[in-house]
Structure 1
Amino acid sequence: MPVIGREVGRELGKKVREAYRVTLPSLLTSEVFGLFGGTFLGKYFESIRTQLPGLLVVLPGIMGLRGNVFGSMASRFSTMLYLGELSPSVRDRKVLKEIVLRMLLSLIPVFLLWAVGVLTGIKKNAFEVLLIVITSTILVSFILGYFTSAVTILSFRRGIDPDSVAAPLVASMGDFLTVPSLVLFILLIERSPEGFRAFNYATIALFLFVTALSRVRLKELAELKQVFVTVTALALLSTVSGSLLARFSGIIQASVILGFIYPAILSSFGNYGSIVAAKTSTKLHLGEIEGFICPKAFTDILALFTTTPVVGAVKLLIGIALVGLTTGMGVPGSVWVIALTYPFMALFIMLYSYSLSYLLFRHNIDPDSVAIPLISNNSDIFGTLYVVLMAKLMVGA
């Protein structure tokens, strides 16, 4: 037993060093991306809440959808690279085809999210909201698809485990692009409705051209039926997060800082969950996990847990600075409650991610296709509940 304990200790030490050397930089980069998007959300939160409230309902779903679709693509590429099924080059034809498939998978859930928002009574400027989310989905999906491919393939070529860096960067780039693109389209519609419509038509034409160029077949789209059903169901489930965000938008805005760090909180929880799910999936496929209680898997979680106080502190410090720079306002002194609770919420999500990935694999369901989208979505729900609770504690509501 002492020998086993020493081996586990050495393994944990090695993974802690890897977590700080490889994963933490990608998590901190992801924080910068998420806080960039959060700056737009925080600054225009009141305008969105009053003029285009439907965007608040669909926002978590759109953010989660992009993380789900392209996070699972990164995990799939990682597994394919290790198995030799994908050449380590962004020029591989499978890359373009996979990107187009993921773009197609994204459009129907986005429309359904909009429809749910309308059916739940948020009809103000509904058509404008639809145009914004469709155009944003096409453009962001195209950019994010190539970003995902580049991060996964380049990290693999440099001897870095893609599972350790791809998921955080992909999810964060989605956040980095999502909120600013929505805000920019809002400003474009306000200033030039004709210009926005022309831009919308050009974007659709680009989408049709790329689809034809990739030569995607219906059979190939059908092969992703499981992913499509999963992301669509999860997108609809994300309306829980959207409804919470819309319902408690006043309290969140009153807390000041939570409007700014909301995207970063959701993305970081999703990042931790996705990293654990991706690592667990790869180990399961390679036969390295034989039972639920696996020291190798739990040392991954413990190593990542040691980074959570750093990520939480950076998030708060940058968030406080952004609030001051963009609004000139201060934040409530009770903001410290976020620093205390954030690491344990992240730990809960990581343990949940490992358990879900393991159970799905044992039931012959590929975690790459299901676990990461499900975890990302659930992390958004848990994260939104966490933000609402923190807002209530901070403003005393």
Structure 2
Amino acid sequence: MKTKKKKIRSSLSTFPAFFKEHDSIIKESFIALLICALGDLFAGLILGNMTFFLETFPGLIVIIPGAIGMRGNIFGSLASRLSTNLHIGMISPKFEFSKELNDNIVSSFALTLFLSLFLAIIAKLFCILFNYDSISLMDFILISCIAAIISNLIMLPFTMFISFRSFSHGWDPDNVTTPIIAAVGDLFTLPAIIASVFILTFFNQSFLIKNIAFIIIIILIIISCIYVIKRSEESKKIFSQSAPVLLVSSFLGVSAGGILNSSIETLLTNHSLLTLLPLFSGVSGSLISILSARLSSGLHYGLIEPLKRPAGESIHNFLICYILAVVMFPLIGFIAEDSTQILGLIGVGFANIILISLIAGLILLTLMIFVVYFISITSYNRDLDPDNIVIPISTSLTDMISSLTLISVSLLILGALI
């Protein structure tokens, strides 16, 4: 009996020690997740005021979730690669251009253009398949690719700035970059799409100008892809490993949209759930991105062994995610309900929304931890770079599963209310 009591006391005493040991990691990640939540809140407000554009350009909303997810996937992977290279000394923390850094820059630029073209084609096919009114394929491609170019001009320098500055200030980029980049991606993708719509309106005034712009964009995509493949083995590796994964991610984004569309009545009649949705998806994706980046870096510099059963540092990373989840999910539930009441809309109540967010978040995190770990060790054991694979797949899966989890938990908890 005394032995059991000693074991219990020992296990309880290890938790404060664990928290103290990983205090900086938790603080860094928590601040980054708060910034992510703020960005998602602003993104929701922007989307809510895009009614005119969505009505004038039918089918435009089909491309928006995929575009937002793509920015986070591409530049989150870029940040993860930069973090790994900074940790192992392949890239100088003094922000000096080098072959490794340039390979990452041109690969990310080419991937953004290539995936934007693919996303436009998929969006148009989706509209045709489900018989939605929509703009032409050329309009989809122009809007998607022009928005990609605008986003590249913002996201590339921002990603490098955050990665290098966090590292030079003693912060671990794995804990900071992916949530902040996801938030900035969410925040700037919608204005970039709005800007591209205005540019398309100008092009529509002249058939010749519109066709010339279309041809220039297609040529730019082809040239950038060929250049990246022939530039070096590293840039070819980044592009060839990332492109298939990002193509799959685009399809997963469409699945997430289908799940939301099937429950649109539930969301529209419960405004706080509608407000919580982008917050829940964004924070969940960022939390999983932090785990993905930390596992990837740990595998690269030997802190984590690619074992079938997680142990040691892997378990520590899991516990850090649970600590962050217990704080963040109730917080975003509170923010969602509070924002709804400030706007004078009817919510589901603070107790209900906080409980929904927490339970759905813990279920999602428990499932995704094992998925992320399996993808990380599998890709590493097959000589594939986890930085190019884990974040795009895991965040896209998280987007899809988060919608299903949140709606399912809401229906169970609210019951007759819904």
TM-score by length of 1: 0.83
Deviations 1:175-194 (A, max 9, x none): 11123433455577679965
CA gap 1:217/1:343 in 2 versus in 1, 3 angstroms: closer
- Which residue matches 2:236? 222
For residues 331-346 of structure 1, the aligned pairs below 5 Å read 331-333=347-349, 334-344=352-362, 345-346=364-365
Q: What's the % identity of the aligned pairs?
A: 24
The match for 1:381 among 374, 394, 400 is: 400
- Which residue matches 1:88? 93
- Which residue matches 1:155? 166
Which sits farther off after the overlay, 232-241 or 154-163? 232-241
Unaligned runs of 5+ residues in structure 2 are 1-5
- Which residue matches 2:345? 329
How far apart are the structure 1 equivalents of 2:253 and 2:71?
Answer: 12
Do the aligned partners of 2:241 and 2:384 also contact (CA within 8 Å) in 1? no
Which sits farther off after the overlay, 95-104 or 144-153? 95-104
- Which residue matches 1:103? 109
- Which residue matches 1:74? 79
Structure possessing the higher radius of gyration over alpha carbons: 2
Deviations 1:301-348 (A, max 9, x none): 1122112232123323333343345x4323123434423324312343
Amino acid at match of 1:104: A
The match for 2:37 among 28, 31, 38 is: 31
- Corresponding position: 1:240 with 2:255: yes
Deviations 1:217-267 (A, max 9, x none): 733453321112221222233221133334444432332233333332222
How far apart are the structure 2 equivalents of 1:54 and 1:90?
Answer: 42
In the alignment of these two chains, the number of paired residues is: 388
How far apart are the structure 2 equivalents of 1:183 and 1:227?
Answer: 27
How far apart are the structure 2 equivalents of 1:192 and 1:108?
Answer: 22
How far apart are the structure 2 equivalents of 1:186 and 1:244?
Answer: 27
CA deviation after TM superposition for structure 1 residue 43, in Å: 4.2
Do the aligned partners of 1:103 and 1:141 also contact (CA within 8 Å) in 2? yes
- Which residue matches 1:118? 124
CA deviation after TM superposition for structure 1 residue 40, in Å: 1.7
- Corresponding position: 1:135 with 2:146: yes
- Which residue matches 1:293? 310
TM-score by length of 2: 0.80
Please provide the CA RMSD for this pair: 3.5
How far apart are the structure 2 equivalents of 1:261 and 1:107?
Answer: 31
Partner SS state of residue 364, structure 1: coil
Do the aligned partners of 1:105 and 1:228 also contact (CA within 8 Å) in 2? yes
Q: Which protein has greater RCO, CA pairs closer than 8 Å, 6+ apart? A: 1
Which sits farther off after the overlay, 85-94 or 68-77? 85-94
CA gap 1:166/1:148 in 2 versus in 1, 3 angstroms: same
- Corresponding position: 1:58 with 2:58: no
How far apart are the structure 2 equivalents of 1:275 and 1:341?
Answer: 20
Deviations 1:350-388 (A, max 9, x none): 343223212322333221111111111111111222344
For residues 196-275 of structure 1, the aligned pairs below 5 Å read 218-220=230-232, 221-223=235-237, 224-275=239-290
CA gap 1:383/1:339 in 2 versus in 1, 3 angstroms: closer
How far apart are the structure 2 equivalents of 1:330 and 1:191?
Answer: 41
